[in-house]
Amino acid sequence: MVARHDTAHDTVAETVRVEGARILATLIRAVGDVQLAEDAVQEATLAALDAWPVTGVPPQPRAWLALTARRKAIDILRRERARPGKERDGLRVIELASYELPPDDVVDDDVLRLIFTCCHPALSPATRVALALRTLCGLSPAQIAGVLLTTEAATTRRLTRARQKIAAAHIPYRVPAEAELAARLPAVCGVIHSLYTAGHAPVDGRAAYDVDACAEALRLAELLHDLLPEQSMPVAVLALLLLTQARSPARLDTAGDVVTLDQQDRGRWDAVAIARGIELLNDSLRRSHGQADAYQLQAAIAAEHARAASYDGTDWAEILRLYDLLLSIAPSHTAGLARVVAASEAADPATGLAMLAELPPSPVGTRFALNCSPAKGRTQRQPENSPNPSTGRRRSRSDSTGSDVERYSSGWPCRRRRRSGGPEVPGDVPSTGRTS
Amino acid sequence: MPQYLALTYTADVDWWAPEQASELADYRQFAVDNADCIRASAVLHPTSTATVVRVAGARGGDVVITDGPYAETKEALTGYYLLEAADLEEAVAIAAQLPAAWGGAVEVRPVIASK
């Protein structure tokens, strides 16, 4: 009895969380006031949490929530109008009652438009991303802290300060003009990528994969690429998401537990998505004239994994080189750790373990460390490799190539930015391993 | 209507010096162009004329004054404008017309509305 009630409650809570984030974006546009819209959605979700366990989830939960939230917004405005000296004017009640959305000119999607709006240059870059993830994507401060590699307390403080500044300085929620979009692009890409990351590796441990967050991130990445097709960054983000998403069917077993990369059934990977991801990555690299950003490098790493016919056929030396490049432009603890994994595969587990000992401790705990233990099972697999590991890797690389893959492989422009001597990778390790 | 204090940070100049005349004229022109939005303004003497005041201990303690600016910096507070604007973006658009915006920096701070 209790268990059944909990399940019903969980379903309701999940629907409210997912749909609430979507209707908030629409409501903010309608009322032009984030705080008012948040208050109204909050009241509507409370109403849903009260009603739905009894009545059941309505057939169109989003419409139910949107309608209720709109009524709640009108209620809030009326209540505030009754109090003297309040700033919210009664005129808006009338506007809301005749609920007609203004026409879309620049960005034809409520959520994407508001992400651009949230990414206001008067807020710090990290604050823009955190604010959009909280307000528009419905992530909790703990989830945001997880993807932005900070603490929940710091995220909460950041969000509080941001809201105070928005209110005190009257930062308007105005959709930016077309000319302003490009300047806001890095933060918008950060939001979309972080949303996907949050869905792909949820911190709360309930599920290893949040389908809604990942699907929404992919939808937004497609929209962003459509909106700004000439820009290299959205293409790279879309490529990265597709190349990661392509492997997701094999990432969980029937019990919902994570299957590590070396155990995954590569036949279940989405070959169409991989091909498209690589094509988009090539497109992005052409547009950026070989100056790779962090998304392109991460997409290139994902492409290397995605096109390997087997785990042992992975070109770890190339992946290690890409991680070196990634760390040189965007140092992070997770990339540092992933580089150790690549190095231990490219060379031997002992090298990896030595590098691991030199890594600085993670600022936010050991979650990522637990997800990728570097030397797991490698020792017994190592003897199966040919004495010259790179020979074996080349063979399987050509097994899995199509023309796009070849173009990616030969056209990777970052090669020139670093020394070209690839095979001596283990020799490079100690000097680059002790950053910070 | 929200108010913003636009603080100009520039080289620590003496506005009365003849070589500042043309820039000072630019500021006067700014004040004319934006007269509708400017509620108050001031141009400050250089920081070498500043006096820092502290009261030792607590209220009623000895008044301690020291010569010179509070802190030596490359860009000093050289003036301010109290602006009235609909929102931050409008205030920023006005502040961006101040010569300090390209000769130094303008800090735009929202003013707490008095009751």
Tens of pLDDT, residues A367-420: 443 333 333 333 333 333 333 333 333 333 333 333 333 334 333 333 323 333
Q: Is A187 inside any structural domain?
A: no
Could you tell me the pLDDT band of residue A207, with boundaries at 50, 70 and 90?
Answer: low
Average pLDDT over residues B81-110: 95
Instruction: List, as one string, the DSSP characters of A80-120.
Output: HHHSTT-SS-THHHHHHHS--PPPPSS---HHHHHHHHHS-
Of the ranges A69-73, A323-327, A357-361, A405-409, the best mean pLDDT one: A323-327
For the record, the structure tokens of A293 come out as: 């950003």
Structural domain span for residue A18: 1-102
pTM above 0.90, yes or no: no
Q: Is A356 inside any structural domain?
A: yes
With pLDDT > 90 as the criterion, what percentage of chain A qualifies?
A: 28
Lowest-confidence range among A129-138, A344-353, A420-429?
Answer: A420-429
- State residue A78's pLDDT score: 84
Distance CA A151, CA A130 (A): 12
Within an 8 Å CB–CB cutoff, is residue B88 touching chain A? yes
Q: Among residues 142-171 of chain A, which lie with CB inside 8 Å of chain B?
A: 168-171
Distance CA A195, CA A219 (A): 11
CB-closest option in B88, B108, B110 to A172 = B88
Tell me the helix, strand and coil percentages in chain A, rounded to 5.
70, 0, 30
Average pLDDT over residues B18-40: 93
The alpha carbon of B21 is separated from its chain's Cα centroid by a whole number of angstroms, namely 18
The domain boundary, picked from A70, A102, A134, lies at A102
The domain boundary, picked from A36, A69, A102, lies at A102
Of the ranges A22-26, A396-400, B26-30, the best mean pLDDT one: B26-30
Phi, psi of B44 (to 5 degrees): -105, 145
Within an 8 Å CB–CB cutoff, is residue A172 touching chain B? yes
Q: Residue A404 forms beta bridges with which residues?
A: none
Exposure string for B71-85, b = 16+ CB within 10 A, e = fewer: eeeeebbbbbbebbb
Predicted confidence (pLDDT) at residue A129 exceeds the cutoff of 70: yes
A180: chain B residues, CB-CB within 8 Å: none
A223 vs A109, higher pLDDT: A223
Average pLDDT, chain B: 91
For the record, the structure tokens of A348 come out as: 């031997």
Within an 8 Å CB–CB cutoff, is residue A122 touching chain B? yes
Could you tell me the pLDDT band of residue A61, with boundaries at 50, 70 and 90?
Answer: confident
Lowest-confidence range among A104-118, A291-305, A413-427, B15-29?
Answer: A413-427
Could you tell me the pLDDT band of residue A300, with boundaries at 50, 70 and 90?
Answer: very high
Could you tell me the pLDDT band of residue A324, with boundaries at 50, 70 and 90?
Answer: very high
| Pairwise CB contact (< 8 Å): B87 & A122 | no
| Pairwise CB contact (< 8 Å): A168 & B86 | no
Phi, psi of B77 (to 5 degrees): -70, 120
| Pairwise CB contact (< 8 Å): A171 & B2 | no
- State residue A202's pLDDT score: 66
Distance CA A257, CA A238 (A): 26
A170: chain B residues, CB-CB within 8 Å: 2, 86-88, 110
Q: Which residue type, as a one-letter code, is found at position A216?
A: E
Q: Which of A120, A170, A92 has its CA nearest to residue B2? A: A170
Q: Please state the domain extents for chain B.
A: 3-110
- State residue A5's pLDDT score: 53
Lowest-confidence range among A13-22, A162-171, A241-250, A412-421?
Answer: A412-421
B108: chain A residues, CB-CB within 8 Å: 169
CB count within 10 Å of CB A98 equals 6
For the record, the structure tokens of A228 come out as: 């700004």
- State residue B110's pLDDT score: 96
B84: chain A residues, CB-CB within 8 Å: none
Exposure string for A138-153, b = 16+ CB within 10 A, e = fewer: bbbbebbbbbbebbbe
Helix, strand or coil, per DSSP, at residue A203: coil
- State residue A7's pLDDT score: 64
With pLDDT > 90 as the criterion, what percentage of chain B qualifies?
A: 69
Helix, strand or coil, per DSSP, at residue A332: coil
* ipTM for the complex shown: 0.83
Could you tell me the pLDDT band of residue A105, with boundaries at 50, 70 and 90?
Answer: very low
- State residue A204's pLDDT score: 56
Average pLDDT over residues B9-25: 90
Q: Which residue type, as a one-letter code, is found at position A228?
A: L
Q: What is the pLDDT of residues A166-205, one digit of tens each?
A: 888 888 777 788 888 888 999 999 999 999 998 887 665 5
| Pairwise CB contact (< 8 Å): A172 & B112 | no
| Pairwise CB contact (< 8 Å): B88 & A169 | yes
Predicted confidence (pLDDT) at residue B101 exceeds the cutoff of 90: yes
Predicted confidence (pLDDT) at residue A239 exceeds the cutoff of 90: yes
The residue whose two tokens read 């490009």 is: A182
Within an 8 Å CB–CB cutoff, is residue B114 touching chain A? no
- Please enumerate in sequence order all residues whose Cβ is within 8 A of that of A134, keeping only pairs 6 or more positions apart, or say none: A140, A141, A144, A159
Q: Is A150 inside any structural domain?
A: no
Distances (CA, A) of A285 to A68, A315, B47: 46, 20, 51
- State residue A108's pLDDT score: 61
Q: Residue B85's closest chain A neighbor by CA?
A: A170
| Pairwise CB contact (< 8 Å): B89 & A171 | yes
* DSSP E strand boundaries for chain B: 3-10, 38-43, 51-55, 63-67, 76-84, 105-110
Average pLDDT over residues A340-347: 88
- State residue A414's pLDDT score: 36
Q: Is A344 inside any structural domain?
A: yes
Q: Residue A170's closest chain B neighbor by CA?
A: B87
* Bridge pairing between strands B76-84 and B3-10: antiparallel
Q: Which of A244, A262, A140, A145 has its CA nearest to residue A200? A: A244
The domain boundary, picked from A102, A134, A166, lies at A102
- State residue A84's pLDDT score: 60
Measure the N-to-C terminal CA separation of chain B; round to a whole number of Å: 13
Distance CA A314, CA A322 (A): 13
| Pairwise CB contact (< 8 Å): B87 & A172 | yes
Q: Is A166 inside any structural domain?
A: no
Within an 8 Å CB–CB cutoff, is residue B27 touching chain A? no
A174: chain B residues, CB-CB within 8 Å: 89
Predicted confidence (pLDDT) at residue A422 exceeds the cutoff of 90: no
- B93 conformational bin, left if phi > 0, alpha if psi -120 to 50, beta if neither: alpha
Instruction: List, as one string, the DSSP characters of B11-39.
Output: ----TTSGGGHHHHHHHHHHHHHTTTTEE
* Bridge pairing between strands B3-10 and B105-110: antiparallel
Helix, strand or coil, per DSSP, at residue A177: coil
Sign of CA dihedral B98, B101, B103, B107: positive
Within an 8 Å CB–CB cutoff, is residue B103 touching chain A? no
A360 vs B100, higher pLDDT: B100
Whether domain B3-110 has CATH 3.90.1300.10: the reply is: no
Distances (CA, A) of A296 to A191, A321, A413, A415: 16, 14, 11, 13
- Please enumerate in sequence order all residues whose Cβ is within 8 A of that of B1, keeping only pairs 6 or more positions apart, or say none: B84, B85, B86
- State residue A376's pLDDT score: 38
Chain A, chain B: beta-carbon pairs less than 8 Å apart: 22
Within an 8 Å CB–CB cutoff, is residue B92 touching chain A? yes
Within an 8 Å CB–CB cutoff, is residue B68 touching chain A? no
| Pairwise CB contact (< 8 Å): B86 & A170 | yes
Q: Among residues 3-22 of chain B, which lie with CB inside 8 Å of chain A?
A: 4
Average pLDDT, chain A: 75
| Pairwise CB contact (< 8 Å): A171 & B88 | yes
- State residue A395's pLDDT score: 33
Could you tell me the pLDDT band of residue A67, with boundaries at 50, 70 and 90?
Answer: confident
Q: Is A128 inside any structural domain?
A: no
Distance CA A324, CA A429 (A): 10
Within an 8 Å CB–CB cutoff, is residue A411 touching chain B? no
Distance CA A299, CA A246 (A): 12
| Pairwise CB contact (< 8 Å): B2 & A174 | no
Within an 8 Å CB–CB cutoff, is residue A215 touching chain B? no
Average pLDDT over residues A152-168: 90
Could you tell me the pLDDT band of residue A114, with boundaries at 50, 70 and 90?
Answer: confident
Q: Is A320 inside any structural domain?
A: yes
Chain A closest-CA separation from residue B111 CA (Å): 8
- The tally of domains found in chain A comes to 2
Within an 8 Å CB–CB cutoff, is residue B110 touching chain A? yes
Q: Is A151 inside any structural domain?
A: no
Distance CA B101, CA B111 (A): 20
